[in-house]
Amino acid sequence: MSIDDMNGWRKTHYTRDVTPELDGQEVILGGWVRNYRDLGGLKFITLQDKYGERQITLKKGVVSDEVFEKGKVGYQYCLMIKGKVKKFEKAPGGIEIIPTEIKILNKTPDKLPIDMTGETISELDLRLNNRALDLRSLRNQAIFEIRGQVLMSIRNFLLKQDFTEITTPKIIGSATEGGTELFPIMYFDKEAFLIQSAQLYKEQLGGVYERVFEISPAFRAEKSHTKRHLCEIFTLDVEMSFADMNDVQKTLEELVHNVIEDVRENRMPALKVLNMEDKTIVPKLPFPRYKYDEIIELVDKKFGITIEWGEDISTEAYRKLGEELTGYYYITHWPMEIKPFYILPSNNPKYSESFDLQMGWLELVSGGTRVHNKQQLINAIEAKGLNSASFESHISVFGFGMPPHAGFGLGIARWITFICGLDDIREAVMYPRTPDRLTP
């Protein structure tokens, strides 16, 4: 069988736009074969495109012999179909298309590497190896439709609140946050690094545009093989001047509330595909707030897990916490010693003006009030054992009238994992990067 050209054909509709009102009209659709059934004198092709699917019905004697013969297709063949819309209640969506012409634009092997019928879910690594194909599945269509909505709703919400969208460099000359988790690269004949967070730039630009946000990648050279860690992350970074952590927490919880409301309002069919329609519900405001001290006391009393004051909360403790606190909640006032230099110490300097936003057991956000006094910033950098000279260009900005400010960073993939009820963060990213995965 030969491969056809489009030959001037253009799609007249997406599948979702072919409604029963178009009964009798001629349409041209294009897409891929999600499903195919050959019952002898009758063949059904389920044609999918970016928005959905429609049934193409080929009955011997009703369609031409040539079209009937051409209807012998394989899974995920790329097709264009010209045909008449026919109202038919028994067909999915109450419509079928009776084709008058079929173009086969590209074929697939007899056996695809992963299941594309939706009957079973192939193993994740196998799916990721064939990601562009895998992304055509109904489940992935739903996940990334929701992700798109989340990003759009975040932007709409923040722009309405006078935030300015910024874009900051992802290649930097020296280690910013002092961590060891940086990817070095060659920048012509010099060593440079991929950025770990937009932190320092968003703070600087907060001193210009007052309220800023960025949605962008950041790179973490952590060899973590967990279901919640990636090496290339995508974060929402927010910074607000003339504000402290309480103001930021209020904006953040309103943002979460609004975004989930938008997802439910606009993406209910996608939530249903993922069986999340009763689980991803609009959270009540305000979110519960617990201090770090209260949390370590709770996990000790309730679960007998001891966390030494000053230590991070262990994964085991988080898991247990997630059984107790199932929704969104804040953990505030972390020990200063486990927070980065840019976080403002509390009046009792053992503590910090910081918070995490949790969803059950998973950390979604971290943030806090920042140091804005230049000398205090220099001291804080050195107290963390870093060389303030390598932060000179950043520190200098604090000598030019830096306002008090606060902000947060939200991991987009972690949030999508939660909203979509996924088991592994890699499912929430089109092309995930992990210690073991650099392709595709």
Contact residues: ligand AMO, CB under 6 A: 197, 199, 220, 222, 229-230, 233, 235, 237, 363-368, 407-409, 411, 413-414
Nearer to ligand AMO, 32 or 157 (CB): 157
Nearer to ligand AMO, 145 or 237 (CB): 237
Buried b (16+ CB within 10 A) or exposed e, 92-118: ebebbbbbebbbbeeebeeeeebebee
Nearer to ligand AMO, 49 or 237 (CB): 237
Residue 296 CB, nearest approach to ligand AMO (Å): 19
Nearer to ligand AMO, 18 or 295 (CB): 295
What is the DSSP pairing of strand 289-291 with strand 328-332? parallel
Residue 193 CB, nearest approach to ligand AMO (Å): 15
Residue 313 CB, nearest approach to ligand AMO (Å): 13
Give the chain as a 3 state SS string. Answer: CCCCCCCCCCCCCCHHHCCHHHCCCEEEEEEEEEEEEECCCEEEEEEEECCEEEEEEEEECCECHHHHHHCCCCCCCEEEEEEEEEECCCCHHHEEEEEEEEEEEECCCCCCCCCCCCCCCCCHHHHHHCHHHHCCCHHHHHHHHHHHHHHHHHHHHHHHCCCEECCCCCEECCCCCCCCCCCEEEECCEEEEECCCCHHHHHHHHHHHCEEEEEEEEECCCCCCCCCCCCEEEEEEEEEECCCHHHHHHHHHHHHHHHHHHHHHHCHHHHHHCCCCCCCCCCCCCCCEEEHHHHHHHHHHHHCCCCCCCCCCCHHHHHHHHHHCCCEEEEECCEHHHCCCCECECCCCCEECEEEEEECCEEEEEEEEECCCHHHHHHHHHHCCCCHHHHHHHHHHCCCCCCCEEEEEEEHHHHHHHHCCCCCHHHHCCCCCECCECCC
Nearer to ligand AMO, 22 or 146 (CB): 146
Nearer to ligand AMO, 15 or 235 (CB): 235
Q: Which amino acid is at 371?
A: V
Residue 123 CB, nearest approach to ligand AMO (Å): 22
Nearer to ligand AMO, 58 or 365 (CB): 365
Residue 181 CB, nearest approach to ligand AMO (Å): 8
Nearer to ligand AMO, 79 or 420 (CB): 420
Nearer to ligand AMO, 96 or 353 (CB): 353
Residue 167 CB, nearest approach to ligand AMO (Å): 16
Residue 403 CB, nearest approach to ligand AMO (Å): 16
C-beta nearest to ligand AMO: residue: 411
Nearest to 172 by CA among 192, 201, 196: 192
Residue 222 CB, nearest approach to ligand AMO (Å): 5
Nearer to ligand AMO, 137 or 197 (CB): 197
- For the chain, the farthest-separated pair of C-alpha atoms sits apart, in whole angstroms, at 86
Residue 48 CB, nearest approach to ligand AMO (Å): 31
CA distance 69 to 2: 13
Residue 203 CB, nearest approach to ligand AMO (Å): 9
CA distance 306 to 302: 11
Residue 260 CB, nearest approach to ligand AMO (Å): 16
Nearer to ligand AMO, 31 or 367 (CB): 367
